[in-house]
Amino acid sequence: MGRVLIVGAGFSGAVLARELADNWKLHSTVIDQRGHVGGNCHTERDPATGILLHTFGPHIFHTSRQDVWDYVTRFTRFSNFVLRPKASIPKGVFGLPINLHTINQFFGKRFSPAEAQGFVATLGDASIGEPANFEEQALKFLGHDLYAAFFHGYTSKQWGCEPRELPASILKRLPVRFNYNDNYFNDTYQGIPLDGYTALVEQMLDHPLIELSLSTTWDPTMAREYEHVVYTGPIDQFYGHRHGRLAYRTVFWEQKVVAGDHQGNAVINYPHPSDRHTRVIEHKHFAPHESHERSVVSTEYSKETGPDDIPYYPKRLVADKAILDRYLATAREEARVSFLGRLATYRYMDMHQVIGEAIDFAPPLGKALTTGSRRPVFPDSITSSP
């Protein structure tokens, strides 16, 4: 039986390779154009301070899916870190997500949960029926003041366009809690690998049936040497952008080492338009169990993704979805290639979703490769434009 080539050593590629090895006894070669595994989740110790850095931005693992949690904790121990970001605006520093403390502090009130819920209901724009975009979604449920303070400027900077140009689905649920819970996530499990994400992925790939080749760029001629290819990079790049380029936002950082404690928290957002940056990250606060005299601070900015930039967030505007549909149609004609992960399917996905989808994708692919049946091109969740 031929080998499988997996393009990309992020979570999609690593989990799939391990599942094919453990459960289907299939040999995989995993390649990545970077010199490390883990993709944008890459972590490394800063040589000057010893602090574990989230090199490409903060990543906090969270999931309510028991099998996903059991899976990642097979390979490493996790801290019990809870993300509690803040927002710094001209009016002060407030807790996120918007909760009872935020509401009382922002409006100078002492509301009970029921009183706060009733009050926020009066703020919403009742003239909006079915929200047609992000801005209408926010105004319908939050009203002008909260939207202007916490969402409009941040969203404009993050996405590089006015919020009214973005789909309402980005703001999927009412971003308000009427209690004092400031845990950013609602999931059952949350934490950060004690040794970092790169060490976690290295453990996943540590198997006799998995060969790893870093600093190796995908070339279509490689497919000749393998029975099947699983591609986890940008789908438009795979096809040489023949149907056009899909739009992404990317991020970059200004980083410095300072003495002591810079901001007292891991993440502080800066929603106000007068601040060019979107947030400030202080890495040592992701590991409060460690002690460091100095601190590494990263100021984050957002911009359009150029040809040489790392893509982060799919914009998924109307034009993008039309381009994506053409790529999906082309991909479905493939007999020896599968597409897996956020870049290959042009969706925003958290780590736990990426891992869960790779776990779910392994059985149908493994069965197809061992029985000679038709191989799945996409995960089951991809039915039309995802």
| 220 burial level (CB within 10 Å; 0-12, 13-18, 19+) | exposed
Statement to judge: residues 11 and 156 lie in one domain: no
Q: How far apart are CA 49 and CA 30, in angstroms?
A: 32
Answer yes or no: 77 catalytic: no
User: How confident is the model at residue 47, as a pLDDT?
Assistant: 96
pLDDT-based confidence at residue 124 (cuts at 50, 70, 90): very high
Asked whether residue 380 is domain-assigned, the answer is: no
Asked whether residue 309 is domain-assigned, the answer is: no
Statement to judge: residues 225 and 112 lie in one domain: no
Answer yes or no: 294 catalytic: no
* β-strand partners of 86: 95, 268
Statement to judge: residues 66 and 34 lie in one domain: yes
Q: Could you say which of 211, 227, 334, 350 is catalytic? A: 350
User: How confident is the model at residue 171, as a pLDDT?
Assistant: 78
Asked whether residue 305 is domain-assigned, the answer is: no
Q: How far apart are CA 170 and CA 155, in angstroms?
A: 10
Q: Could you say which of 46, 300, 320, 357 is catalytic? A: 300
Statement to judge: residues 201 and 322 lie in one domain: yes
Asked whether residue 175 is domain-assigned, the answer is: no
Domain with 152, as residue range(s), is 97-170
Answer yes or no: 18 catalytic: no
Asked whether residue 236 is domain-assigned, the answer is: yes
* 303 pLDDT above the threshold of 60: yes
Statement to judge: residues 68 and 8 lie in one domain: yes
What pLDDT digit, counting tens, does each position of 318-348 carry?
899 999 999 999 999 999 999 999 999 999 8
Cα 247–chain centre separation: 16
Phi, psi dihedrals of residue 5, rounded to the nearest 5°? -100, 125
Q: Could you say which of 177, 316, 347, 375 is catalytic? A: 177
Statement to judge: residues 75 and 8 lie in one domain: yes
Statement to judge: residues 10 and 73 lie in one domain: yes
* β-strand partners of 337: 229
Q: How far apart are CA 282 and CA 384, in angstroms?
A: 40
Asked whether residue 290 is domain-assigned, the answer is: no
Statement to judge: residues 206 and 70 lie in one domain: yes
Answer yes or no: 197 catalytic: no
Asked whether residue 292 is domain-assigned, the answer is: no
Shortest CA distance to 235 belongs to which of 377, 40, 356?
A: 377
User: How confident is the model at residue 174, as a pLDDT?
Assistant: 63
Q: How far apart are CA 17 and CA 15, in angstroms?
A: 5
- Domain boundary, last residue among 121, 136, 170: 170
Statement to judge: residues 214 and 334 lie in one domain: yes
pLDDT-based confidence at residue 384 (cuts at 50, 70, 90): very low
Number of Cβ atoms within 10 Å of the Cβ of 83: 18
Answer yes or no: 173 catalytic: yes
Statement to judge: residues 151 and 233 lie in one domain: no
Q: How far apart are CA 191 and CA 327, in angstroms?
A: 36
Helices (H), 160-261: 197-204, 235-238
Answer yes or no: 279 catalytic: yes
- Domain boundary, last residue among 122, 141, 170: 170
Instruction: Sort strands 228-231 and 189-191 into parallel, antiparallel or unpaired.
Output: unpaired
Statement to judge: residues 213 and 166 lie in one domain: no
Asked whether residue 384 is domain-assigned, the answer is: no
- Domain boundary, last residue among 136, 170, 204: 170
What pLDDT digit, counting tens, does each position of 153-165 carry?
999 999 999 999 8
The answer to whether the bond into 97 is cis (omega within 30° of 0) is yes
Q: Could you say which of 182, 189, 249, 320 is catalytic? A: 249
Q: Could you say which of 242, 290, 332, 348 is catalytic? A: 348
User: Domain tally for the chain?
Assistant: 2
Statement to judge: residues 102 and 211 lie in one domain: no
Q: Residue 29 belongs to a domain with what CATH number?
A: 3.40.50.720
